[in-house]
Amino acid sequence: MREPTSQVRLGILGIVAVSLFVALFARLWFLQVAAAPEFQQAAEANRIRIVQEQAPRGRILDRNGKVIVDNRVSVVVAVDRATFAELGDDEADALLVRLSDDLTRAGDPVTTDDLRERIDDQRFSPYTPVPVAQDMPEELKILIEEHEDEFPGVVVERTSVRDYPYGSVAAHVLGYVGEINDVELEERADADKPYLQGDDIGKSGVERVYEDELRGVPGVTHIEVDADGDPVRIIEERSTPPISGNDLVLTIDLDIQAVAERTLERELLAARERPVSGNNLPNEGTAGSVVVEDPRNGEVIAMASYPSYDPSAFVNGISTAKWDELNDPTNHFPLNNWAIQGQYAPGSTFKLFTAHAALSTGLRSPGFTLTDTGVYQVPRCEGDAGCVFRGGAVGLVDMRSAITRSSDSYFYDIGAQFWIQQDAYGNEAIQTSARDFGLGGKTGIPLPSEQAGRMPTPDQRAADHEANPEAFPEGEWRTGDNVNLSIGQGEVLVTPLQLSNAYSTFANGGTRFSPNIVLEVRESNSEVALRTLGPRVSGEVPLPQEVRQPILDGLVGVTVDSRGTGVGVFAGFPHALYPVAGKTGTAQVNGKADTSVFTGFGPVYDPQYTVTAILEESGFGASSAGPVVRQIFDVLSGAVPRPQVQPGGALTLPPPESDVAAAAEAATD
């Protein structure tokens, strides 16, 4: 009985032993043969570290080839963490004291605690030196390199940063560059040009919109590390140098841009010197903007916004104090581009669209006359409140002279009759014309944060009231609302770019373009075009001769007729050689001085430029915005020598000055 049992046990033991050896050999085969590539790759990854080097961003040029944004070399002092970590406490302290003293003498006051904090900054890769000071003088670089034994682990490098040869000129168009944040990093996780924490990215303006073009291809350095993760050597054959980003050529003419900015600032300051506005409130001249556009293709020639800022403040990171200053409401938000973010009542410049609605629907003929006594009684309305509207008395006017002299009553009557006869014309006749010209919607310019303005309608008012009765207590649209709308008051809002684009549409005969800010994308530091951005048509407005001509005649009269609201502004202008059509506007704002508006185009019979200016809390349209437009047209027409912008932003000649006193005296709108 015992012998068979022993044999069974030995057999089982043998089977177990064989199974164990088979499993062992199978595992060895899997590790050494089947999984060898995977483990080899893991081992390689553990041995190799990949470090990215930011590439220079592409340059930004104006339409004439002036380099507005370039790259410059910045001397950066950095500390190698691995070497610093190997120093003893006394050695590390001595190094920080020496470095602090030398950096302070070089213009960067810094303490040893500041340096330790910078060295420990986790935003930076552990495999590259950590920058502790930037924009240092070349002399410091030489000093540290000549005494490298006294500065263990300290590296002085030259790196590429943004440079602005013309200072703050065109700052809102250009935008600025800053360090990528977590949200942006996540959004670009799969970008063709990879990003790492600490990399630069466009934050506003064309720097942001054309980030993919401007960003270069980062350089890649493969570093071999030891078991402790310390660098051993650079693997040259597997490393690639950075490739610069593409260049952008803007539609902007930098000379005209500088003229627009200087003129805008000067007229805002001048407005503050005039004690009160038309509504007897003090002129604060807080902010404003100018747009110069080519009506033939929608190219933006200039886009000025005030107050402005210097984008170089963001190079190497902006200080907290400066950031707070730029976002302080008392400074009127210098980072905002008021040309596309400001939303204003257009005032009497809106009368073009009311006139178009009246003539194109047949509500009015060009010869229809009305005597403007300065008081308009709404038909079928009883009492004074909401039934009587007032304006300057201008006497007997037809469509042409009503535009020239900016008769409110003439257009009040159009607004009232459209509402009274809505069964025949619908209840949105004026809004329809305005929308056809692009008001109430974004223009589509490739710049961030563009606002859409507001085109109020009866349905929208009812919907707002139903959704939020407390915020919108009035849900019914009345005749008086149409009267207000007819002269660009009430709830209608436009951006300066919208208004400019709408007048450009009228000027060119009815083609509405989406404005462009970039002409072409080029290879880096080359004139080879990679992509050209042509005109973009976004709509067509029917403008038959019988509709367009009376309106055009009225707009021309604004600048040349002895009774035109802009004749004082354009006194002495070479109308015979370069006729300009335009329209004044004075937008009333509750509790504030009037907003001054003026828009015009020329030469009238072959329009090449539309110029629009809106100045907040600055008075009549002819007293502030009008002079801005006139002075720009002086340059565009060749009536005065063309100033040239110089490095730093100065002009070779001061912008022309108009007779503001005469303009203000003649201003009634």
CATH number at residue 108: 3.90.1310.10
Count the domains in the chain.
2
Whether residue 112 sits in one domain with residue 171:
yes
Q: pLDDT averaged over the chain?
A: 89
User: What average pLDDT does range 110-132 have in this prediction?
Assistant: 79
pLDDT > 90: what percent of the chain? 62
267: CB partners within 8 A, 6+ apart: 288, 613, 615, 618, 624, 625, 627, 628, 660
Coil, strand or helix at 125? coil
Q: Which segment of 68-77, 289-298, 422-431, 524-533 scores lowest on mean pLDDT?
A: 68-77
Q: Which domain holds residue 219?
A: 52-247
Are both 67 and 135 inside the same structural domain?
Answer: yes
Would residue 252 count as lying in a domain? no
Predicted TM-score (pTM) of the model is: 0.86
**Is residue 366 in some structural domain?**
no
pLDDT of residue 498: 98
39/178 same-domain check: no
Please indicate, yes or no, if residue 347 is contained in any of the structural domains.
no
Structure token digits, residue 278: 């038309």
Residue in 371, 370, 376 with CA at minimum distance from that of residue 391:
376
Instruction: Using a pLDDT cut of 70, give the percent of the chain over it.
Output: 88
Which residues, 6 or more positions from 441, have their beta carbon under 8 angstroms from its beta carbon? 435, 452, 453, 455
For residue 313, give the DSSP letter.
Answer: G
Does residue 662 carry a pLDDT above 70?
Answer: no
pLDDT of residue 1: 45
For residue range 288-331, list pLDDT tens digits in order: 999 999 999 999 999 999 999 999 998 877 777 888 999 999 99
Q: At residue 41, what are phi and psi to the nearest 5 degrees?
A: -65, -40
Domain end call among 247, 275, 299: 247
Nearest to 54 by CA among 184, 254, 195: 195
- The answer to the question of residue 664 being in a domain is no
Q: Residue 551: CB partners within 8 Å, gap ≥ 6?
A: 352, 355, 356, 359, 399, 403, 506
As a whole number of angstroms, the distance between CA 583 and CA 350 comes to: 9
Same domain as 144, residue 6: no
Q: Is the pLDDT of residue 226 over 70?
A: no
The answer to whether residue 99 scores a pLDDT higher than 60 is: yes
**Highest mean pLDDT: which range of 37-51, 182-196, 452-466, 645-659:** 452-466
Residue with tokens 């977590």: 182
Tell me: do 88 and 17 sit in the same domain: no
pLDDT value for 586: 93
Token output for 132: 């502790």
Digit-coded pLDDT (tens) for 108-117: 898 988 888 8
What mean pLDDT comes out for the span 82-96?
Answer: 88
Question: For 205-219, what is each residue's pLDDT tens digit?
Answer: 999 999 999 999 888
Residues 92 and 235 in one domain: yes
How much is the pLDDT for 212? Answer: 95
Residue 462 half-sphere exposure, CB side, CA atoms within 13 Å?
6
**Pick from 638, 632, 636: nearest CA to 612:** 632
The residue with tokens 């692009």 is 438
Predicted local confidence at residue 43, as pLDDT: 47
Residue 218 lies in a domain: yes
Which H or E run includes 521?
A: strand 518-522
For residue 583, the model assigns a pLDDT of 98
Q: Is the model's pLDDT at 239 over the cut of 50? A: yes
Residues 18, 74 share a domain = no
Residue type present at position 199: D
In the structure, what pLDDT confidence band is assigned to residue 3 with cuts at 50, 70 and 90?
low
DSSP 516: B
Listed as own residue / partner, the contacts of 474-480 with beta carbons closer than 8 Å and 24 or more positions apart are 477/427, 478/386, 478/419, 479/378, 479/379, 479/380, 479/381, 479/415, 479/416, 479/419, 479/420, 480/378, 480/381, 480/386, 480/387, 480/389
Say what the pLDDT of residue 231 is. Answer: 61
Specify whether 218 is located in the same domain as 129: yes
Both 42 and 172 in one domain: the answer is no
Mean pLDDT on 189-194 = 88
From 247, 276, 311, give the residue that closes a domain.
247
Q: Is residue 138 part of a domain?
A: yes
Contact indicator for 210, 517 with CB cutoff of 8 Å: no
pLDDT at 531 over 70: yes
Q: Give me 72's structure tokens.
A: 């410059």
**Pick the residue with more confidence: 17 or 80?**
80
Higher pLDDT, 74 or 236: 74
Residue 664 reports pLDDT greater than 70: no
Specify whether 59 is located in the same domain as 150. yes
* Domain end position, chosen among 247, 265, 296: 247
> Are 149 and 16 found together in one domain?
no
| Out of 59-68, 69-78, 170-179, 426-435, least confident range | 69-78
> What pLDDT does 409 receive?
97
- The answer to the question of residue 571 being in a domain is no
DSSP 218: P
Q: How far is CA 19 from the centre of its chain?
A: 74
* C-alpha to C-alpha distance for 112 and 130, rounded to whole angstroms: 15
For residue 567, give both structure tokens.
Answer: 């004749």
The candidate with the shortest Cα–Cα distance to 621, out of 668, 587, 586, 569, is 586
- 145 vs 447, higher pLDDT: 447
Give start and end residues of each alpha helix (H) in 315-444.
Answer: 320-326, 338-341, 351-361, 399-404, 408-420, 422-425, 429-436
User: Do 174 and 107 fall into the same domain?
Assistant: yes
Q: In degrees, to the nearest 5, what angle opens at C-alpha 262 toward C-alphas 260 and 265?
A: 105
pLDDT at 532 exceeding the cut of 90: yes
